[in-house]
Amino acid sequence: MNDFQGQFVLTQREYLAHIDFYTWTRHFHVLRDLCARVQGDVLEVGTGDGVVRRCIQPFVRSYTVMDVNERLAPDIHANLLDAQPALDGRYDAVVCTEVLEHLPFDELQHALAQLASFLKPGGELYLTLPHRKAHMLVVTPRQRLCKWRFAVGLTSLAEAYHRFVRRRIWIDPHHCWEIGDGRVVRSQVQQRLDAAGLRTETFTELPYCDYWVLRRTA
């Protein structure tokens, strides 16, 4: 089994053993928004380390997980790209963080349409996608997060070597693409979000990822 396929049989313990500060930063923003905005039925697509579910499940009417990896014990063992008519219009919120980049970019439009279809009219999608830019995060004494982004290749010798010598931008080997990888830009993602009938409620640049809260239009 190659490294790319191997990610789809990881256990939650293995995910947690490799969790990093950037992942916790992403969890913080998603958890804060879910707690403030959602009390009804939630679907998480791609549960990974399971942190969001364990934190949010006691405070919502129902919490369901769909995942392609049966070792994560999802409630629904399924591929997002396959038709799921039983899930159409069932959920007040869908959570999908750091998932879609594991699919070919050509499949992004279909995947977003699937996620939108799971929402009730007016329901919200909590979505993050990795953004391959150099970044710096500073936490102030009042716990305010200050974030800066820089063009790839300017903040480390390794990045400079990949971009200016090898003429390619390194991305996570488990990913098919990332925003800013030299092929995909954020405007392309936004076009597909619009086409899926998803309106941006809030957008936040986080370390290593872009974070949207999106509402399904009627």
121-169 pLDDT, tens digit per residue, is 999 999 999 999 888 888 899 988 888 888 887 777 877 887 788 778 8
Q: Which residues contact 40 (CB under 8 A, 6 or more apart)?
A: 60, 61, 62, 91, 92, 93
Domain architecture of the chain: domains with CATH: 3-132+177-216 (3.40.50.150), 135-170 (no CATH)
Task: Give the pLDDT score at 39.
Answer: 96
Q: Bigger pLDDT: 164 or 80? A: 80
Task: Give the pLDDT score at 1.
Answer: 57
The overall average pLDDT reported for the chain is 93
181, 101 Cβ separation under 8 angstroms: no
Across the range 4-20, mean pLDDT stands at 92
pTM of the model: 0.94
3 state SS of 1: coil
pLDDT at residue 61 tops 60: yes
Task: Give the pLDDT score at 152.
Answer: 80
Q: CA distances (Å), 209 to each of 129, 147, 155, 176, in order?
A: 5, 12, 17, 15
Distance, in Å, from the CA atom of 57 to the CA atom of 38, rounded to the nearest integer, reads: 11
**Of the candidates 54, 78, 76, which has an alpha carbon nearest to the alpha carbon of residue 65?**
76
| Residue 137, strand partner residues | 147
pLDDT band of residue 84 (cuts 50, 70, 90) is very high
78, 53 Cβ separation under 8 angstroms: no
To which H or E segment does residue 83 belong?
none
204, 211 Cβ separation under 8 angstroms: yes
Across the range 54-69, mean pLDDT stands at 97
Query: How is residue 186 written in tokens?
Result: 């954020």
Across the range 76-80, mean pLDDT stands at 97
100, 106 Cβ separation under 8 angstroms: no
Q: Which residues contact 165 (CB under 8 A, 6 or more apart)?
A: none
